[in-house]
């Protein structure tokens, strides 16, 4: 694949495939006769196109990341780990796509299939954790006293996990209909190193089940004509699915490792901790190299957040959240946020994120 990349052919293929995708979308817009059949066909064409792009992207992604990390002086996984991971992935991997989170949530946009998580594994070399949104809030009794000392961090409560740095995990999912319909499709999900709002999704196997996608397609055909464009599965997938192609481009583009296609969804501050930025007692990181680029569509109310790395912002927000809950539990008659602000030693805690 290197020669493919070197001569620019890879970029050309991606351009052509992207063009095909656009044509399919146009086809859907100008449907005339047999709309159901045409929509079904275009949906399939679109899926195949996305997969083609994903396959090509995956074959260049690792090399691009390595060069990117080398340029930035980042420490990455050991050579053995890299080779092992790559070998294992290429053995089973069918398709890789990079998707953005839906509305700034902790999970990527719905891909039209129903998935059930069956495992999670700590992966060496992954910069960002796969967050665990459904994880209950655990509080240890020694929280406030211990958390301002790095040497006394426990391993149980959420605050300590934030200060320690959460485990860098990859989530393993299989089709919900594995048993009912024998569908063996699986996927692996983990945040990208460059941008925690983006996810790398590795699809393994193909769906043999018939469920959500076709149901959604059928439902779309019953909607008023004026709403079809906005709610069709194709449109939704297209809007939410961000296929990163920078890895395919020349090395010059790798200078900016964080450059991705713009967000497709609005990302609100609440997505990263539920606190308004101006209410956070924690000062924003002074460095700008890890800043989070916010698209114009989302920047109206996010000016403050835009200067944060999303992971830093989320970690600080979670820290504040945990302290607030603990204080609320001990003194429920007093606004928790206010007291938590008093408890927090801003300088001490900020040093943890330095």
Partner DNA sequence: AGTATTTGACCGAC
Partner DNA sequence: GTCGGTCAAATACT
Binding residues for DNA (CB under 7 A): 77-78, 81, 83-85, 87-89, 91-92, 115-125, 132-136, 170-172, 174, 176, 186, 188, 204
Per the CB < 8 A criterion, the answer to whether 306 and 299 are in contact is yes
- Give which of 142, 139, 133, 104 is closest to 298, Cα–Cα: 104
CB of 193 to DNA, least distance (A): 13
CA distance 321 to 232: 38
CA distance 100 to 108: 6
- Judged by beta carbon, residue 11 or residue 177, the one nearer DNA is 177
What 3-state class would DSSP assign to 191? strand
CB of 243 to DNA, least distance (A): 21
CB of 175 to DNA, least distance (A): 11
- Judged by beta carbon, residue 35 or residue 103, the one nearer DNA is 103
Considering Cα of 68, then 73, then 76, then 78, what sign does the dihedral take? positive
- Judged by beta carbon, residue 19 or residue 135, the one nearer DNA is 135
CB of 311 to DNA, least distance (A): 18
CA distance 266 to 102: 8
- Judged by beta carbon, residue 92 or residue 150, the one nearer DNA is 92
CA distance 38 to 25: 11
- Judged by beta carbon, residue 123 or residue 148, the one nearer DNA is 123
- Judged by beta carbon, residue 135 or residue 150, the one nearer DNA is 135
- Judged by beta carbon, residue 118 or residue 149, the one nearer DNA is 118
CB of 78 to DNA, least distance (A): 7
Cα of 147 vs its chain's centroid, Å = 29
- Judged by beta carbon, residue 92 or residue 279, the one nearer DNA is 92
CB of 47 to DNA, least distance (A): 22
Give the DSSP per-residue string, 83-105: HHHHHHHHHH--EEEEEEBGGG-
Q: What angle do CA 278, 293, 47 make, to 5 degrees?
A: 125
CB of 332 to DNA, least distance (A): 20
Q: Which two tokens stand for residue 246?
A: 């920078």
CA distance 325 to 140: 12
- Judged by beta carbon, residue 83 or residue 149, the one nearer DNA is 83
CB of 118 to DNA, least distance (A): 5
Cα of 264 vs its chain's centroid, Å = 12
What 3-state class would DSSP assign to 322? helix
Q: What angle do CA 130, 132, 136 make, to 5 degrees?
A: 160
CB of 259 to DNA, least distance (A): 26
Q: What Cα–Cα distance (Å) separates residue 196 from each residue in 200, 256, 281, 341, 351?
A: 10, 16, 23, 27, 22
């Amino acid at each position: 694949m290197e020669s493919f990349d070197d001569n620019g052919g890879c970029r050309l293929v991606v351009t052509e495939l992207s063009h095909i995708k656009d044509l399919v979308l146009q086809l859907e817009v100008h449907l005339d006769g047999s709309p159901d059949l045409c929509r079904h066909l275009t949906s399939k064409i679109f899926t195949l196109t996305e997969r083609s792009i994903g396959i090509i992207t995956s074959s260049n992604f690792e090399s691009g990341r390595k060069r990117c990390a080398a340029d930035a002086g980042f420490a990455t996984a050991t050579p053995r780990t890299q080779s092992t991971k790559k070998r294992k992935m290429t053995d089973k991997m069918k398709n890789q796509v990079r998707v953005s989170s839906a509305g700034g949530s902790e999970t990527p946009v719905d891909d039209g299939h129903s998935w059930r998580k069956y495992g999670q594994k700590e992966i060496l070399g992954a910069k960002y954790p796969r967050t665990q949104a459904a994880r209950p809030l655990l509080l240890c009794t020694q929280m406030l006293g211990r958390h301002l000392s790095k040497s006394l961090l426990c391993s149980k409560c959420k605050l300590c996990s934030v200060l320690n740095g959460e485990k860098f995990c990859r989530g393993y999912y299989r089709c919900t209909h594995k048993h009912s319909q024998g569908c063996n499709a699986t996927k692996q999900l983990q945040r990208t190193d460059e941008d925690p709002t983006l996810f790398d999704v590795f699809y393994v196997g193909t769906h043999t089940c018939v469920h959500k996608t076709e149901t959604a397609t059928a439902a779309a055909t019953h909607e008023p004509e004026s709403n079809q464009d906005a709610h069709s599965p194709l449109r939704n997938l297209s809007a939410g699915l961000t296929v990163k192609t920078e890895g395919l481009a020349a090395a010059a583009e790798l200078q900016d490792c964080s450059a991705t296609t713009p967000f497709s969804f609005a990302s609100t501050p609440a997505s990263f901790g539920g606190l308004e930025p101006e209410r956070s007692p924690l000062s924003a990181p002074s460095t700008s190299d890890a800043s989070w680029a916010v698209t114009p569509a989302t920047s109206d109310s996010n000016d403050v957040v835009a200067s944060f790395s999303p992971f830093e912002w989320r970690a600080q927000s979670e820290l504040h959240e945990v302290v607030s809950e603990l204080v609320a539990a001990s003194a429920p008659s007093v606004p928790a946020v206010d007291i938590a602000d008093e408890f927090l030693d801003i300088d001490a805690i900020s040093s943890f994120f330095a």
